[in-house]
Structure 1
Amino acid sequence: MYESSKPREERDFAEFYPDLDETKPLITVTTPNERSRKVAVVNKHERLENLKKPSYRPLYSSPGTFAEKLPRNISSLGYNEHELGELRLLPETYFRAEATRSALVKNLLNFKDKFQVLYDMDEQDEEYLTVMNERRMAQSQNRVLDEVLEICFTYLEIEWYFIEKFLPPKNKVDSLNNYDMMNQAFLHSSKYGSDDGTGGSPDVDQRCAVCDESECDNSNAIVFCDGCDIAVHQECYGVTFIPEGSWLCRRCLISRSKKQRCLFCPSTTGAFKQTDNGLWGHVVCTLWINELYFANPIYMEPIEGLNQIPKGRWKLNCYICHQKVGACIQCCNKNCFLAYHATCARRSGLCMKMTKGIQGAIANQNSLLSYCDKHGPYDWNVEHDPKSGVEKTRLYFATVGAIKNRTEKLKIKIMQSKKSKTADLFKWNTKNGAPIIPITIALGLMNFLKDHHIALDNAAEVVNELCAYWTLKREQKQGAPLIKRLDATQYGQLTDEEIQQRISVLGILTEDVNKLLDLSTVVGQKSKVENQLVDTLVEETDLIHFPISYIISKLIDRIKELDSGKSLYKAQTNKHILSFQQIELKNSQYRYSSVAQFLEDLKKLEAYLLRQPEWKIMSQLKTLKRWRRESDARTKAALDMETSVLKKVGENGDLVEILSEDFTIEGTSVEERPWDDFELSSDLSDVEEPSNARKLLRIE
């Protein structure tokens, strides 16, 4: 059953009438002598209702439904092609079938996309062109076709689409600064209180500015104003359905740039509605003042009943803010005469209950209860502490009054300085957020019309006038685009099948992302293995072509392992003695021709360090002592290996030929040969001796 007190929710007609053809014209039957009647079907029974005689006006005053033929240069920009001599029949419904496939509509437009007209004229545009063409005909200038306006508006929308990509974002602070601002608002609310629900803890949902509750459901959601950031329930503010895109409260929609003051209290923040005479008042004040009411309880506007407020209510003095302005309410305790504004009570945290909810309050204001800080319920006073809230409210108005008096003295000087600094600056937007077309875009539009052979008398004046009219159209829509674009966050315009399709696509994308993560992990592991292969290749190259340097490098690596404190590695010497780092650098540059040269430099370094005072400490001598324990055996092994290598090189002339017995060497590629099979013989010993090449590779 339909309840008139609840807001209506916008639903698609296809959910209720799946077989209804929206393109089929409705049949209207009227009789001259009898009143019209509407036949309604309720529970398969016809019910007649008396209605007023319908009134209508024709959309086209000219006879017939045919229009003149479009020129070929205009039809190529997105209009239907027609045969020569064929008249263009006006469609019954003004709908462009390919509009939803456009890249601009999908927010995927780039510079290479073909131009296509997407803007559709409305009645306001038709009236505007009529006035413009009448003036142009009086000046003996050609007419501006409807299609020319659509082409120009589409061009401006496309150009501004690309400009928006380079403009600074509207939100000038990042998420971290937003969080800091929320913390500042929370601190402000903790110090001065809040009468509009803002300033709560960042970790808690914002409360409604009317009922002061944060709970909501699908049928009564909380909406946030994009202008003043207040939050209101749909039922608490009369929002019948949540629109697509941004939403503005009534005050921000009508008077966003100017601060409005409530007729019934001194507060300038909160949820406002207009009165029947164009002034402003809080929804909270309207609910709690018994004489006030909403003319339309569904949309909760306008506010009426100002004449019914007794003079005595206007004379009451608020005991919280100590201001004799507006209309106050009083404590529900019969023996209490304290008066206060509804917003002052909300800021102070006084007990204000809606015993039957918002709809019960609209229907019967006697269901509302409010108490001062002395007569409130005990549980309420313990939880909310209204006495300290009253002190916060008084501090707030005292601070605001002092700031107001101080700023008014400097206001004139500040405005004059701003005018002198910003007089010559170009503004991208109007006060209401509508974009202003720069002269470069206007010149580009003129060249675009010229390139497509669209002739206009005094084209510069026409283009400038259309640009100004486009800005006014945008300003009327609060800066929103004239060509509707799809918003991925607004699923109200999608069917269940489309939503499920998008969810399935998101699932596929999620799987692809996970596969990419796995692939990146494998690529990282592959890079590590490739680095190890490169290191091994360098080591093999040194072994083959620079065996002496390779033998010395193994000794250096062992010394570095013994030098755990890096005392030897960091030791400094004079210009006649090479330090350990210099010895390592000399070996990396292949400047040692024998192991003996390396051992000689190492002994000179050891003798030098033992003469230094700091090396007489036990901790510094540990590295040398450790090396002395192993030096004899490792030095002898290195010298023997050097002798073996030099002997083989001397006999064969090349170390590559020695290693080729057990390895395949081609350039920098070295691969081990498979072990040759052999037959057991009594002449062989029990264990076969390794080849010369394998002996050379024994570094340990």
Structure 2
Amino acid sequence: MGRELTDDGPKLREERNFEEFHEDLRKDTRVPIVTLNNINNDTESRVHSHHVKQMIFNGKVTFEPVRLNQHNSDFKETKINVNQLSNQVLKPKGKGIHKSTNYNNKTRGFNELTTPYINKFIHQYNLNDLNRNIINAISGISKAQRNFLSEYDMDEQDELYLQFLNNRYCKGTLTNDLFEIVMTVLENEWIHLEKQIPPRSLSSNSSASDHHTQTARIYYELYGSDDGTSAFSEQACAVCNETESTNSNAIVFCDGCDVAVHQECYGIVFIPEGQWLCRLCLVSKNRKVNCALCPSHTGAFKQTDAGAWAHVICAIWIPELYFANLNYMEPIEGIQNIHKSRWKLNCYICDQKVGSCIQCSNKNCFTAYHVTCAKRASLCINFNKTPVSTIVQNQMSSDNMIQSYCDKHSPTGWHDCTEGIMKTRRYYRDLNQSKIENNIFPEVPQKNETQVASANRSKWKTNRGTPIAPHFFSQIVESVLSLAKVEHSNKVCYLICKYWSMKRELKRGAPLVRRFDSSSYNTLTLDQLKERINFSDVLLEDLLKLKGLSKLIKKRIELDEKLNSIDKNINNISRAPEKIFLRNAILSKFVSSPTFRAFERLFQESNKHYVMIVRCKNFEFNKLSEFKEYMEESFAQIEQDPDSTRLLLTKTSKTKELFESLINKISDFDVKKHIRQDFTSDPNNGMITQERPWKGPILLEDEELSDAEELNIREERLLRHFLNR
């Protein structure tokens, strides 16, 4: 049963070497390029771009165009800074927002570090004038379209359907931008309509949120919960039953069954953009499945190696089970290793001999119970603050890591589990008798067939939560299409409404456009709102402190760089003081003088004397004597050269005079002696360490003098004579 934990973790396809997928492919391999000239006549008419993709379906090869977004790198400077937030002035810097049809002019002065990214959802810069006029006119069509902004983003499926509509009805008049506008209109209309739909609640005066809360409260009071749901607090993880999360271990909600799990508890390596579905909703959709280890039907499921379903929490607590892949925590293996005696244990909570039970960790107690029954009954099933990932990695020897106790041997301070046990027993009793729905909705009378048929005709959603577009949706879409003068708009409007409903059904009723719903704040109490405001104030204060720290860090780095530059200059002076002095006192002045520049213009690069110019400009001399000797020799060669012109000899004479005047000024200057007088140096490497506080002793040493010379006998007598007077 042992297994080696040598998995380095999953990698994205972009992070893996291409040779893992194509063994015969090398870096120097020539890859054929498919162009329009290579496509046959059957598919050539359907290709509209040189960027194509190949699709194989039912053995038939087709080519389709790839449309690239050309506005994916436009940016816009933010109008509000942190200082304005601190002063609670939430106004743009300018008097108004300047609108321009040419957005490329706004990208001038772009800074990759300071300029924030915006896309088409924030600014309508990528729409043509026709679509701008349509957007301006949409606001007057319906109340739900006020302050309209195109937010829908097309995918490949939309592209194929758009081609179908253009080929069959619109004849190319329905553009991509217009299709996104129409889909956004439908989303806005449905959101507006959904707020007006009366909820299916216990009373006609309660709202949808009140109905959901009341239903959850009744369900929890009657039956408890084994999947982390609760009516009185935020939803906990269905595995570890904790509500805290971090950036690296966030709680993720399934868009299908609304179960909540930590990334580490369920094996979610990457959180996808858009919808996330648990393994059960992804594979079995909304079908009811049975856990192979317990009688519960709710919670976080994963498949076994045989294709059955089991709870993740059951696989963690039953010692014979383990996960084949520790990163994805699936499949569950080892069911064949469970001892026969464990299958025969009877759960004392639900009183069912179903699945596999665990037993109380008290060494003198043999009480057996299902893991999910213990969780629903609120028994002590404790991870001892050990991360689930650590428990899973050491699952074969995790007896001391995780412990569970029955209600009689609960640790000191643990709450009474009697009520939880009663809720669990009531749940399985009513589940077997199909009484759960009647207990939650006791006052709802049974409907006859006529009433059921009438209710179905007035439904706004299907059983799967798919919105049913009413007739006035098509009228609004037809009005929008008429503004763009789309052909056969009276037929296309119905087809787009049907497509929108099917698109919603594909996403299990989830919105096609993500947006913030301010109505969610209506569910918060006054104390909760005050707490959030206080938190935002603290966060803003921290941001201001962070801004101040950033400025100080920037200043420190600048000073550090300046200090490093100074240290570098000091080290260079210590290593070659004469070279630095020669460059600053003579060469730089000599090269930058008008006389030298006029002298330089007389030479070509091919001239044999041009090397003198190059050496002077590159400061290639280390000692004053070397420089003096080389220049005198070079001037002599030019003067003795028979090819030298009269102008060249004149300029050479002036340059030589300038050179001699600069040399004479420092000919008697000893650089090393002055550095030794002004600075102290390390005797080991000769590097300058600090400035000399007083150069008196070093001057005495240079002049070979002592601090006080000894007096002879005559001088001592004379000194005493003056002192005794």
Normalised to the residue count of structure 2, the TM-score between the two structures is 0.46
Question: What is the TM-score when the length of structure 1 is the normalising length?
Answer: 0.48
